Structure 1
Amino acid sequence: MIKDLRHAWKDPVLLAALFGPLVLLFLSRFGFPVAAHWLDVNYSFHLEPYRGFAASLLVVTIPMLTGMLTGLLMLDERDENVIAYYAVTPIMRKGYLLYRVTLPFLLCTGLSMVYLSFSTLSDIHWDKLGVLLLLAMEAPLFSLFLAAFSANKVEGLALSKIGGLFIAGPVVAYFVPGAWQMLGAWLPTYWPAKVPYFMTQNEPFLAILFCSIGLLLHAVYLYFMVSVFNNRQS
């Protein structure tokens, strides 16, 4: 892990992915009140009713950033043939993959806990373990998405920009009416945005139901990504 941090420190893109969640926390805590006041004074537009949406939009960016960090590191290691080296050591390929999945999971868990605890923008806090677990599972999912479908780091950077479209999940969760939401339910980011929505609407049964479905879907996606990654390495 120390080696990864040193590597990230030398790469501007990886450094931005590492400190990006802290920038999001700053924007949530200090930027939102300023923007809300400015819009109210100049355009009579009330931003406060959209606090939950803004919180969801920002918090789902954290697993994307941490996932991008690890995914690009994996692409670097593939280019340097490090993965093949680990395959013949006692760690073996499974141990390497387990480490690469666990690192973004833990990193995203910690950063999401900090965001949900100190942003003052969300009514959902880190003790809502279902939401936190959904967010944490998305980080290795995004890592493997980059590593499985990119041939090198350049392609990984391009794919990470396309993957940024996944941020549409909260938009669907909050603004698309009725059954039309199911068209966006395939997006992983839909679920950690929809579960807090039900929590704030005092609908605990729907929150638990959607959290369970979301966790199952994330597990299926992770299994698929691991399979694609392993097939690419063989």
Structure 2
Amino acid sequence: MRPRAMLGLLPADLRRLARDELLVWMPAVPLAMALAARLGVPALLRAVGPGGAGAREWAARIDVAAFAIVVPVLVGTVVGFMLLGEKEDGVWSVLAVTPTSLRGYLIWRAAGAVIVAAAAGGVCTRLAGLDDLGAARTAVLAAAGAPLAGAAALSLAAWAANTVQGFAAVKLSLIVLVLPAVAPRDAGVWQWPLAAIPSWWPVRAYWDLTGPGSWWPAWLLGSAAVGLAIMAVGLRRAAP
């Protein structure tokens, strides 16, 4: 898409989001999660005292699950439902016969979801304050989780038939996506089947970024590759 066309869509997107009773509250959820984590988790850790190593382990799991998995999926869900609504309203059919191709439009939407998810994930991670990653490593973690947004957006657009089906798919997918965050960290070869789950890659990046590991560049690249593969399949189905 041309830059002028991209910029022209932004005000329309904001107006549409404000009018949609289903989606208008969703952008506030990541900030609410970050504030709840900032206020609630430290209080829990103070309550369990210095012997609560298990509680601190679960605080880290909450950190990565909430801000490297759930936040990107929420961003992708908002974009995916907007695309699904446009498909139901016949907008895709109109785009197919304009200079702005449907494929290019969907790619732009997915890219926008990834960028917004990276920014939202980084801001919410810093706001929650559950780790000491620092700005640079927080940016790496946010980048590792961001492809989930594009994958969620194009998956909803490609496979969901309506909004009700889309919500059911999001709920089920979140159950699967949080599994790597609650799985044992050092499961040896038994952890590799989880690599088929897209969220496994940002979770592995998180453990390396917060610990002595140095493999986080591989996990970052793996997350990008898996996310792009899912987006390519969704794009092929939505715009053959």
Query: TM-score per shorter chain, which class?
Result: 0.7 to 0.9
The letter of the residue matching 1:179 is: V
Aligned-residue offset at 1:45? 5.0
Shift of the 63–3 alpha-carbon distance from structure 1 to 2, 3 Å rule, reads same
Please show how residues 38-49 of structure 1 align to structure 2 within 5 Å: 38=47, 40=48, 45=52, 47-49=55-57
Does 2:121 align with 1:112?
yes
Query: Aligned to 1:211, which of 200, 213, 220?
Result: 220
Partners of 1:102 and 1:186 in 2: how far apart? Answer: 22
Aligned-residue offset at 1:123? 2.7
What TM-score do the two structures reach when normalised by structure 1?
A: 0.87
Please show how residues 113-152 of structure 1 align to structure 2 within 5 Å: 113-128=122-137, 129-152=139-162
Please show how residues 151-162 of structure 1 align to structure 2 within 5 Å: 151-162=161-172
Q: Could you tell me which residue of structure 1 aligns to residue 5 of structure 2?
A: none
Shift of the 78–181 alpha-carbon distance from structure 1 to 2, 3 Å rule, reads same
- Contact in 1 for aligned 2:37/2:130 (Cα 8 Å): yes
The letter of the residue matching 2:121 is: S
Q: Could you tell me which residue of structure 1 aligns to residue 63 of structure 2?
A: 55
Deviation string for 1:157-194 (max 9, x for gaps)?
A: 1211111121222123x446221111211111111111
Aligned-residue offset at 1:100? 1.3
- Contact in 2 for aligned 1:52/1:123 (Cα 8 Å): no
Partners of 1:175 and 1:137 in 2: how far apart? Answer: 22
- For structure 2, list consecutive stretches of 5 or more residues without a partner in the other structure: 1-9
Deviation string for 1:69-119 (max 9, x for gaps)?
A: 011111110110011112222222133112211221121122112123222
Local SS of the residue matching 1:123 = coil
Q: Could you tell me which residue of structure 2 aligns to residue 192 of structure 1?
A: 202
Aligned length: 226
- Contact in 2 for aligned 1:170/1:190 (Cα 8 Å): yes
Name the Cα RMSD after superposition: 2.1
The letter of the residue matching 1:142 is: A
Aligned-residue offset at 1:34? 2.3
Please show how residues 63-74 of structure 1 align to structure 2 within 5 Å: 63-74=72-83
What TM-score do the two structures reach when normalised by structure 2?
A: 0.85
- Contact in 1 for aligned 2:103/2:239 (Cα 8 Å): no
Q: Could you tell me which residue of structure 1 aligns to residue 4 of structure 2?
A: none
Partners of 2:106 and 2:231 in 1: how far apart? Answer: 12
Identity %: 22
Shift of the 17–126 alpha-carbon distance from structure 1 to 2, 3 Å rule, reads farther
